[in-house]
Chains A and B, each alone.
Chain A
Amino acid sequence: MRFLLNLMLMLVVALAIGFGLSWYALTDGRLLGATQVGPWTAWPRAGSPDPDPYTRAYLARNGALQLGRSEGVQFIATSDSDGQPLNRACRYRIDGNTSTATFWTLVPTTADGATIARADGPAGFESNRIARANDGSMQLYVSKTLAPLNWLEITGDGPFWLVLTLYDTTVFSGVSTTDTTLPSIIREAC
Chain B
Amino acid sequence: MVRTTLYLIAGILLGLLIHLVVILTLPGLASNNVATRLAAIGQLNKTVLLADVTPGAPNPLRLDPNVVYAMCRLDLSSGPGELAGTLPLAFWSVSVYDKSGTVLYSTTNRDGIGQTLDLGIFDQGQTRLLAEQKIDVADGLLIVESNSDQVYVVVRLAPEQPVMRDRYKAQLARLGCHNIKI
A residues with CB within 8 A of B: 2, 6-7, 9-19, 21-22, 25-26, 47-51, 53-54, 56-57, 59-72, 102-103, 105, 107, 109, 112-119, 122-124, 126, 128-129, 155-156, 163, 165, 167-168
Contact = CB atoms under 8 A, between A and B. Distances in A.
Nearest to A7: B7
B158 A167 contact: yes
B4 A15 contact: no
Contacts of B26: 22, 26, 57, 60-61
B131 interface: no
Interface residues of B, number: 62
Contacts of A123: 53, 55, 65-66
Contact of B33 (A59, A71, A118): A59
A69 B91 contact: no
Contacts of A14: 10-12, 14-15, 17-18
Contacts of B58: 112-114
Nearest to B108: A168
A71 B59 contact: no
Given A10-B11, A71-B95, A18 B19 contact: yes
B61 A10 contact: no
Contacts of B34: 59, 63-66
B162 to A, nearest CB: 7
A19 B25 CA distance: 13
Chain B at the A interface: SS class: mixed
Interface stretch (B77-85, B99-107, B116-124, B170-178): B99-107
B60 interface: yes
Nearest to B107: A70
9 contacts: A6-B4, A14-B11, A18-B15, A47-B106, A53-B23, A71-B107, A103-B91, A114-B59, A122-B162
Interface string B37-50: 11000000000000
B137 to A, nearest CB: 22
A52 to B, nearest CB: 10
B108 A17 contact: no
Contacts of B101: 59-60, 66
Contact of A57 (B23, B32, B103, B162): B23
A22 B23 CA distance: 7
Count chain B CB atoms within 10 A of each CB in A11, A18, A21, A122 and give the residue with the most.
A18
B130 interface: no
A71 B64 contact: no
Contact of A105 (B3, B64, B103): B64
A124 B67 CA distance: 11
Contact of B62 (A25, A113, A116): A113
Given A17-B15, A65-B34, A9 B8 contact: yes
B57 interface: yes
A14 to B, nearest CB: 4
A47 B55 contact: no
B18 A57 contact: no
A74 B119 CA distance: 25
Contacts of A10: 7-8, 10-11, 14
Given A17-B11, A61-B26, A123-B53, 16 more contacts: A6-B3, A18-B19, A50-B102, A60-B33, A64-B34, A65-B63, A67-B103, A68-B95, A105-B64, A105-B67, A113-B61, A114-B59, A115-B65, A123-B55, A124-B65, A168-B93
